[in-house]
Amino acid sequence: MFASFVLALRSAGLPASITEYLTLMGAMKAGVADYSIDDFYYLCRATLVKDERHLDRFDRVFGEVFKGLEPPEGMPIQNLPEEWLKALAEKFLSKEEMDKIEKLGGLEALMKRLQELLEEQKGRHQGGSKWIGTAGTSPFGNNGANPEGVRIGQQEGRNRRAIKVWDKREFKDLDDTVEIGTRNIKLALRRLRKFARQGTPTELDIPETIRTTANNAGYLDLKMVPERHNTVKVLLFLDIGGSMDEHVRVCEELFSAARGEFKHLEYFYFHNCIYERVWKTNRRRNDNMTPTEEVMRKYGPDYKAIFVGDASMSPYEVSHPGGSVEHWNDEPGSVWMERLTKHFRRSAWLNPRPRNAWDHAMTIGMLRKVMENRMYPLTLGGIDEMAKELNK
């Protein structure tokens, strides 16, 4: 009966399975959602969603599939570009202004007009009284003040009219491609853990105790072993300055999370692309360079190398000798990258730019090729993917 719904969920990337579907059927049979759409929505959510990161996607699919169920006052959210809807400003209208807003002639007309505007309009818009966007007096968009308005992507219903829960999409910022925080990064980095026993013996070693006790004619002879610790070794290369400035916050978070998570963490900075030298302090970089050769000599192949950078520069900086914007380099950056990836067999590149923007810069493609496709977006999902790859 609801099989198409489950299939729609699956194609939206939610891991719903037969088991969950049967559970839902069972719960319906047991009368948990007695003829109430809201209860049915809650029940579906409790049964089919197992991770709060998926709640937003679930709401979208639910709204789409059960369009007919909701009262006609709401309307399914169109695919509006995210940035339009960021509520950047609040605009408080005076009483006269409120009066001035003419009713445009019922809901039907509003919807039609919205469709037309969507066709017509091609950019983000804020303020004003016609286009769709934020804080305006047009009937479309959010945080606005048209009394007959259609809310699109507003944080919370300002006057609680005509809002269906699944259209509110309250769990929006929990999608794992969006939010990133130190603690979350730490959890994602934990996947890289590798345990080994080192240090003072504090745990009972049962096999050894049994063996020695047997040797001891049955009298107890306790043996201890050290506790297990994380021994993974990580080498971070961070791109700094230039186009990376806008990603500073997320890089700082990644860096501090990595510092907290790994005991064996070393880091170096570079600019745009790696050449024959890297550095550890940005302020005194000119007299404090470390030759890249030395890095490779000092840190063995057991280190996992992670490069963090947007990989966006002029193609010459990667492919040609002397292409560096800062100094004369005898060998092109790609040669150095190849050397590093050959030495550090487990390596990956984290890119703070979103994956769909990767085609825009030619050098991203070039470096991806050097990395043999091991480039991941700097999001929780990306870090997770990277950790899986590095642990292979």
- What does the binding site for other proteins look like in residue numbers (CB under 8 A)? 15, 17, 19-20, 23, 26-27, 30-34, 38-39, 42-43, 45-47, 49-52, 55, 156, 170-171, 187, 190, 218-220
Q: Min. distance of Cβ 40 from other proteins in angstroms?
A: 9
Min dist CB 310 to other proteins, Å, is 24
Q: Which tokens hold the place of 72?
A: 């006609």
Residue 228 parent element (H or E): strand 224-230
Least gap, CB of 148 to other proteins (angstroms): 25
What minimum distance in Å lies between the beta carbon of 35 and other proteins? 12
**Contact predicate 239/290, CB 8 Å:** no
Element (H, E) at 349: strand 347-351
d(CA 12, CA 179): 20
Sole residue written with tokens 């999001």 = 379
Instruction: State whether the Cα torsion 238-242-244-247 is positive or negative.
Output: positive
Q: How many CA atoms lie within 13 A of 77 on its CB side?
A: 25
CB 52 to other proteins: min, Å: 4
Least distance to other proteins from the beta carbon of 161, Å? Answer: 16
Least distance in angstroms from the C-beta of 278 to other proteins: 31
Closest CB 305 distance from other proteins, rounded Å: 25
Compare residues 47 and 351 and give the one whose CB is closer to other proteins.
47
State how far the alpha carbon of 293 is from the alpha carbons of 284, 287, 296, 298, in Å: 20, 17, 5, 9
Residue 56 gets the label, from left (phi > 0), alpha (psi -120 to 50) or beta, of: alpha
- 100 CB-contact burial (10 Å; exposed 0-12 / middle 13-18 / buried 19+): exposed
Nearest residue (CB) to other proteins, 8 versus 33: 33
Closer CB to other proteins, residue 131 or residue 166? 166
In the complex with other proteins, which residue's Cβ is closer, 190 or 259? 190
CA–CA separation, 261 vs 185, rounded Å? 9
Q: Which is nearer to other proteins, 46 or 325 (CB)?
A: 46
Select 114 or 257, whichever has its Cβ closest to other proteins: 257
Do 41 and 166 meet the contact criterion of CB atoms below 8 Å apart? yes
> Which residue, 34 or 359, has its beta carbon nearer to other proteins?
34
**Residue 49 CB, nearest distance to other proteins (Å)?**
6
- What single letter denotes the amino acid at residue 317? E
Comparing CB distances to other proteins, the nearer of 148 and 170 is 170
Cα 10 off chain centre by: 20
Q: What is the DSSP string of 232-282?
A: -EEEEEEE-SGGGGGGHHHHHHHHHHHHHH-SEEEEEEEBSB--SEEES-S
* Residue closer to other proteins, measured from CB, 210 or 357: 210
